[in-house]
Amino acid sequence: MWLAACGAAVAQTGDEDSAVQAVYASIENSIHREYDAVLGVVSRKESESPTGRFEKMRDVVRTMYYNKAAVFSNCAAEAEQYRAPGAPRVPASQNLLLNTCLEEKLGELNKFSNMLGYATTFFPDRIERCGEASRLHDREKLLPPYGFLQIAEPKLYDFARYTTCLMKSEATSPAAR
């Protein structure tokens, strides 16, 4: 289903950005359902915590789902780009290019998620700097966040770059360079 929208966009426009946007639009309901389910679990676990902590966690979940939707859309458009003209579409579950891309990109997102708590504890000064250095500003313009996410400042990231930056110490003195 998701790849069909992407394929139609590529066929109609020949434009990868349009294909990415078409896939992104087509998966909104699926992302919304998954987001609501995860947010429900988070809210139950955080119901006894101070309000500020829940809000912070909800912001992280929003950003992750925004990024997840963008990753899927980009991978689907990339996979469709390599499909030979006239070749039948392969179901998403059997599309090697799509699944390889998703495995890599979602793996990077998961690695980042696992690393974030560690980095927040030991390298809090790196979070903002590395985040800004890893943003995908062109993709943020192309893929505005879904309305249900209610993100004040949408941010899409290159998670491989973000994680690498978090774990890399910055030279602080001329002698260290």
Write the DSSP string, 73-138: HHHHHHHHHTSPTTPPPPPGGG-HHHHHHHHHHHHHHHHHHHHHHHHHHH-HHHHHHHHHHTB-HH
Q: How many domains does the chain have?
A: 1
Sequential pLDDT tens for the chain (177 residues): 445 555 555 555 567 899 999 999 999 999 999 999 998 888 777 666 666 677 888 898 999 999 999 999 999 999 998 888 888 988 888 999 999 999 999 999 999 999 998 999 999 999 999 999 999 999 999 999 999 999 989 999 999 999 999 998 765 434 433
Contact 21, 9 (CB under 8 A): yes
Q: How far apart are CA 12 and CA 21, in angstroms?
A: 13
Quote the domain boundaries for residue 170.
Answer: 2-176
Q: How far apart are CA 45 and CA 149, in angstroms?
A: 20
Amino acid at 65: Y
Helix (H, G, I), strand (E, B) or coil at 16: helix
Q: How far apart are CA 113 and CA 157, in angstroms?
A: 12
pTM score > 0.75 for this model? Answer: yes
